[in-house]
Amino acid sequence: MAARPYAVILGMMGAGKTRVGKEVAHMLHLPFADADAEIEHEVGMKIPAYFEQYGEPAFREVEADVIADFLEDFEGIFSLGGGAPMTPSTQRELATYIGHGGKVVYLDADPQEAMERANRGGGRPMLNGDANARWKKLYKQRDPVFHEVSNVHVHTRGLTPQGAAKKVIDMVSQRIVHVDGTAIEPYDVAIGEGAMNRLVDVLGPQPKKIALIHTQPVQRHSDRARALLRQGGYEVSDIVIPDAEPGKTITVANGIWERLGTEGFTRSDAVVGLGGGAATDLAGFVAATWMRGIRYVNCPTSLLAMVDASTGGKTGINTPQGKNLVGSFYTPAGVLADMTTLASLPNDIFIEGLGEVAKSGFIRDSEILHILEEHAGELRNFNGQAFLGSPLEDVVAELIERTVRVKAYHVSSDLKEKGLREFLNYGHTLGHAIEKLEHFRWRHGNAVAVGMVYAAELANIMGLIDRDLVDYHRSLLSSLGLPTSWNGGSFEDVLALMHRDKKARGNELRFVVLDSIGHVVHLDNPSVDDVEEAFRRIQH
């Protein structure tokens, strides 16, 4: 198998590709190669002399060959010359490299800083004449192409080479899940430390005003988002909402609409939702309804929000009659699951998120269940202060990525929950009833854990799965510190709420159950006796 670069760095002359690339290589203990230095070695003369003697077309041909060789057979950090990505054959080579999982980094420096560095460096045949005028003209031609051929965009304005290198490492090590499909505007979910650094890039140049909607407990992370937004030149309206489910009400939404109206938000402005699942649900709902839909970005800060609420375009608020009965299907421009935010999570709120992770394992990706089994003790004893940089961080990153991929699979072909997407509701029929009867004192992931045990019991009663699989639900969820039983209400109350469930059709109950791990089916209108028997089994 071909050895491919860890990352390829491109950018304008003077962007610091060589200096930053060397820093990245040094920090990661990897070799570094500079395309221009390799070309000089290949042709046996300095680039300006080669340019003068043979002309630019001959130089570009040699350059393209050298780059193609290195993209196939070099395992370090590889930096390209400023004009290299303009050559069509190099563009194709870079696309192939990205197709194999490669990271092409556009090092986007402040133009003034880059021009000064380029002038100081000298020896640049492309800047002959009025150097600044030539640089600006080349920037105008090259910037759109650099955006096109790269899949990681790093702004370096005001950063030292070491600071820029750290930012490159953070962004290159992130996991990206691309979500697309019929009726979906494609978007990416970025998972990893520093994912929030992509905020300005995802919002783009059109918005002038940004409503930053967040809860009080995530103030530290909202401060970071606000700083990034202001650096990006946006006008920021800071909107604090109540934490958890009390933030998901029509009263809170109305208060935000009033603010947006007073502050002159137009259709071209945008919303950033930052916080747990309830905060991102509400922010998405506000974005979907303001002027019939404005751009929004999700920055989930809890494990549950990263794996569940932030992906898939479900937005909504609660009413006195139930959860999420008012809402909209509206996809974000991007989701930034910055894992540094998990370091501030209390243990019980982290564990709650594992309920939705396990659900994705049961309904589609059994490897999730194996990872949960293997690391159950470490996950159950999660300690935010010791999390970043620990071996557990990579385990959690993989669990988030796999869970998001399961969700993306179900939503990409069924945005509006007419078929396949309903399978994501495994464990939710009873789970939502528990949340309502507990007045939302029970956290969503915990309620879903009990709901999955209930669904497994019901499937066992109906002859769809054996006792071993029911027991496996109980043992795995218990080993993670999740609840598997509930005693907080009567069957009559639960049954009434199940009839109001979004999956119910007319007066008939409808459940999502397994007939084997990774395979989900609908169970339509089971007898009330069977539904009650399954309920009795989860009461102890």
Torsion of CA 336, 301, 374, 358, to 10 degrees: -90
Count the Cβ atoms, other than its own, within 10 Å of residue 522. 12
Rounded to 5 degrees, φ, ψ at 414 are -150, 65
36 is in an annotated binding site: yes
- Judge whether 305 is annotated as a binding position: no
CA 75 to CA 443: how far, in whole Å? 45
- On whether 245 is known to bind a ligand per the annotation, the reply is yes
Annotated binding-site residue? 247: yes
Cβ–Cβ contacts within 10 Å for residue 270, how many? Answer: 24
Cα dihedral 16, 227, 281, 276 sign: positive
356 marked ligand binding residue: yes
CA-based diameter of the chain, in Å? 90
- Torsion of Cα atoms, 107 then 398 then 315 then 422, to 10°: 140
Q: Count of alpha carbons within 13 Å of 258, Cβ hemisphere only?
A: 6
Is position 23 annotated in a ligand binding site?
A: no
Q: Is 60 marked as binding a ligand?
A: yes
Query: Is position 14 annotated in a ligand binding site?
Result: yes
Report the first-to-last Cα separation within the chain, whole angstroms. Answer: 54
- Residue 16 labelled as part of a binding site: yes
Beta bridge partners of 59: none
142 appears as a binding residue in the annotation? yes
Alpha carbon distance 3, 76 (integer Å): 9
117 labelled as ligand-binding? no
Ligand-binding site membership of 510 (annotated): no
- The answer to the question of whether 133 is labelled as a binding residue is no
Determine if residue 302 is labeled as part of a ligand binding site: yes
What are the distances in angstroms from CA 16 to CA 20, 22, 316? 6, 10, 45
246 has binding-site annotation? yes
Tell me the sheet residues that pair with 474: none
In contact, 113 and 66? CB cutoff 8 Å: no
323 is in an annotated binding site: yes
Residue 277 annotated as binding site: yes
Q: Is 261 annotated as ligand-binding? A: no
How would you class 71 by CB atoms within 10 Å of its CB: exposed for 0-12, middle for 13-18, buried for 19 or more?
buried
d(CA 371, CA 399): 8
Helix (H) or strand (E) holding 78: strand 77-79
Q: Is 533 annotated as a binding residue?
A: no
Coil vs helix vs strand at 175: strand
Phi, psi dihedrals of residue 118, rounded to the nearest 5°: -60, -40
Q: Which residues are annotated as a binding site for ATP?
A: 14-19, 124
Q: Which residues are annotated as a binding site for substrate?
A: 36, 60, 82, 142
Q: Which residues are annotated as a binding site for NAD(+)?
A: 243-248, 277-281, 301-302, 314, 323
Q: Which residues are annotated as a binding site for Zn(2+)?
A: 356, 428, 444
Q: Which residues are annotated as a binding site?
A: 14-19, 36, 60, 82, 124, 142, 243-248, 277-281, 301-302, 314, 323, 356, 428, 444
Q: Which residues are annotated as a binding site for Mg(2+)?
A: 18
